Amino acid sequence: MNITFKQASYAVLLIIIVLGAVYSVYNFGGQNQPAPAVKNYKIGLLMINKDVGNDNLNGFKSKFETLGYKEGVNVEYIIRNAGADRDAILKAQSAEMNSVGVDIILAFSTTVLEPLIKLPDFKTKTYFLAAGRPRDIVKNLQAPEGLITGIGEGTVEFAGKRVSLLKEMAPSIKTVISIVEKNHGNAPLFKENVNKAAQELGLNVVFIDIEKPDDILKALPQLVRKLGDAYIACPCQSNEKYAKELAAQLLKAKIVSINPEITIGAKIGFLATYSDDRYKTGEYAATKIDEILKGKPISQVPVEFAKDVLFELNLATAKAIGITLPETIISRANKIYNE
């Protein structure tokens, strides 16, 4: 069949019109359609009193927002704080958090993790921002075998390093003392790490065992009897609850001291503090949680340990107990109080 030039022109024009219509439908027709729904995330926060407003949480929230998770817009934080009456309340709150359908639980310590993992129907992905004993929670740190992963903090892990810092600050020391709640979960590993470091440095160790946090008040007078000349604070509840009383007694006994908690270390009168930088740890945790929420399996998110550390000194304390800190120590401090 012969097609005239005029017919061919009409055919081409018709094809152009059809293609134009199709293009318009695909590219402009959706402009008045609603945008795809944005997922709203529910993040559960399990904590105790000392975790409220701490640097782990502040660093996490700040970084999480820069990653696109805005509180009140596309993320909701469901907070459960067991306060000081921990055991029974933590158990109940863990069960509740596991059942309310959050996308992920953030836990702030080994203390809050322990009742969670004992739930018979534990089913919620969980990330810990600061577990002092992560090996008690996850057996395979490189490839977590269950629903939990996170970051181990330095409260217990850095105990040996704190002993070596005591020796650097006061090379003449012979015996390190520590008041320890013998039933606290951190006690066994803390003692092990302290003993190991002390042995390597040729130091003696005296542990003053107490049953419960309040018993530290009865043990404080023993420090004045000079059982030793250096003190390392146990990452126990008593250290948090009676930090000021402990710092004052150490000052009175003129004992070199170091604490694992930034908020209650050199800042309030201990000679030194050595701890992980919890703000940066919180920021890093936000990037890992983002990966998990986007589908990365827990088994591919290894348990890590805090990489950024803070070392703080109190020069007024050094003067009061009669020591001159080596310049090599002072130059390494991230922060110095009472210069």
**Alpha-carbon distance 174 to 152, whole Å?**
31
The CATH class of 157-275+309-337 is alpha beta
- The CATH class for the domain spanning 41-153+277-305 reads alpha beta
Q: In what order do the strands lie in the sheet with 256-259?
A: 204-210, 175-181, 230-232, 256-259, 272-276, 309-314, 335-337
Q: Is the pLDDT of residue 34 over 70?
A: no
Q: What is the mean pLDDT of residues 215-230?
A: 88
Prediction pTM value:
0.79
As a three-state string, the secondary structure of 54-71 is CHHHHHHHHHHHHCCCCE
What are the domain boundaries of the chain?
A: 41-153+277-305, 157-275+309-337
The answer to whether 152 and 304 have CB atoms below 8 angstroms apart is yes
The answer to which of 20-24, 241-245, 248-252, 265-269 has the lowest mean pLDDT is 20-24
157-275+309-337: same fold as 41-153+277-305?
A: yes
Q: Which backbone phi and psi does 27 adopt, to 5 degrees? A: -100, -25
| 247 has pLDDT over 80 | yes
* Bridge-based pairing state of the strands 272-276 and 309-314: antiparallel
pLDDT at 192 (0 to 100):
96
